[in-house]
């Protein structure tokens, strides 16, 4: 597929954000679009954002659960880019109307203390390279109407990313086995989901290793200082103004998100 057509798809997604109007899925328009071409669409918009002065602060990993991979008919996760204008502070009200179709996920964010470049990156390599972890939320959003997406659609749409909310504490990674860390996810004071770290590819650091190896195959390292969202421990929850979310990760503490104008 020629780059001119892929660029037109990128422009459609960008206009969707500007107009706050969801669009038809790319896979409905072009059923033959490949995952590789979808990543090119994603990169067109990321490159445009950086030209406009936005800064890449990290990456997000999506589709880390077997259930979501089966749902979309794939056997590996996907990834997107995190930009500085996507970062929100915990407990400060976030207007849900900033997004099109927002949902929220509780995740563990890794802050890298050194570069990681695959191939061959292991769980142990990730732990050694990590300055610390931060309890976090990801706001996922889709520019595709009614979230009717296939894997190519979410990849092109920057892995359906909308924003991230970081907790206030950097936690040493070597003091806890993240595989067994429990999560209690509350919405408006009611427990709606529970999970353990193992829900993310068996261990959240394995998701980061996957990303390092995936990007390493393209000659792109994960860089020192980057924030890596390792993937959701549960299904995403619907978001509207007035909602308050609390994610408690065992003894590690909790992170809170508040939505409102």
How many distinct structural domains can be found in the chain? Answer: 1
Q: What is the mean pLDDT of residues 215-235?
A: 94
Report the CATH number that the domain containing residue 104 is assigned in CATH.
Answer: 3.90.850.10
Q: In this predicted structure, which of 39-43, 175-179, 197-201 has the lowest mean pLDDT?
A: 175-179
Q: What is the mean pLDDT of residues 47-63?
A: 97
| pLDDT for position 75 | 81
The contacts of residue 51 (CB under 8 Å, 6+ apart) are none
> Cα(30)–Cα(145) distance, rounded to whole angstroms?
16
> Cα(149)–Cα(167) distance, rounded to whole angstroms?
30
Strands (E), the chain: 56-62, 78-83, 87-89, 103-112, 130-140, 161-166, 182-187, 190-196, 227-232, 237-238, 244-248, 254-258
| pLDDT for position 10 | 97
Average pLDDT, the chain: 95
pLDDT digits (tens, 9 = 90+) for 75-100: 889 999 999 999 999 999 999 999 99
pLDDT digits (tens, 9 = 90+) for 184-201: 999 999 999 999 999 999
**CB distance 13 to 162 below 8 Å:** no
Q: What is the mean pLDDT of residues 46-68?
A: 92
| pLDDT for position 175 | 77
The contacts of residue 2 (CB under 8 Å, 6+ apart) are none
| pLDDT for position 68 | 72
Compute the CA torsion angle 174, 180, 182, 183 (nearest 10 deg): 80
> Cα(22)–Cα(133) distance, rounded to whole angstroms?
34
DSSP 174: G
- Phi and psi at 184, nearest 5°, equal -115, 115
Question: Predicted confidence band at 218 (pLDDT cuts at 50, 70, 90)?
Answer: confident
> Cα(192)–Cα(146) distance, rounded to whole angstroms?
22
> Cα(249)–Cα(185) distance, rounded to whole angstroms?
9
Domain that holds residue 15: 3-258
Share of the chain above pLDDT 90, in %: 91
**pTM exceeds 0.85 for this model:** yes
């Amino acid at each position: 597929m020629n780059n001119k057509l892929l660029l037109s798809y990128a422009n459609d997604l960008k206009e969707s954000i500007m107009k706050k109007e969801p669009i038809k899925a790319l896979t409905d328009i072009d059923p033959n679009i490949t995952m590789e071409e979808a990543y090119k669409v994603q990169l067109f918009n990321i490159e445009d954002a950086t030209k406009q002065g936005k800064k890449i602060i990290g990456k997000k990993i999506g589709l880390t659960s077997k259930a979501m991979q089966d749902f979309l008919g794939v056997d590996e996760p996907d990834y997107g880019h995190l930009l500085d204008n996507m970062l929100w502070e915990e407990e400060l009200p976030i207007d849900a109307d900033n997004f099109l179709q927002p949902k929220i996920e509780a995740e563990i964010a890794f802050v890298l203390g050194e570069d990681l470049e695959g191939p061959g990156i292991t769980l142990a390599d990730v732990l050694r390279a990590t300055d610390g972890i931060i309890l976090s939320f990801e706001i996922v959003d889709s520019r595709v109407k009614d979230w009717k997406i296939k894997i190519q659609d979410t990849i092109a749409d920057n892995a359906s990313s909308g924003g991230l909310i970081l907790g206030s504490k950097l936690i040493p990674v070597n003091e806890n086995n993240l595989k067994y860390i429990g999560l209690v996810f509350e919405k408006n004071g009611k427990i709606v989901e529970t999970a353990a770290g193992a829900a993310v590819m068996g261990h959240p650091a394995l998701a980061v290793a996957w990303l390092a190896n995936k990007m390493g195959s393209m000659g792109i390292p994960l860089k020192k200082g980057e924030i890596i969202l390792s993937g959701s421990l549960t299904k995403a929850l619907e978001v509207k103004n007035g909602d308050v979310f609390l994610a408690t990760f065992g003894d590690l503490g909790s992170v809170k998100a508040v939505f409102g104008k």
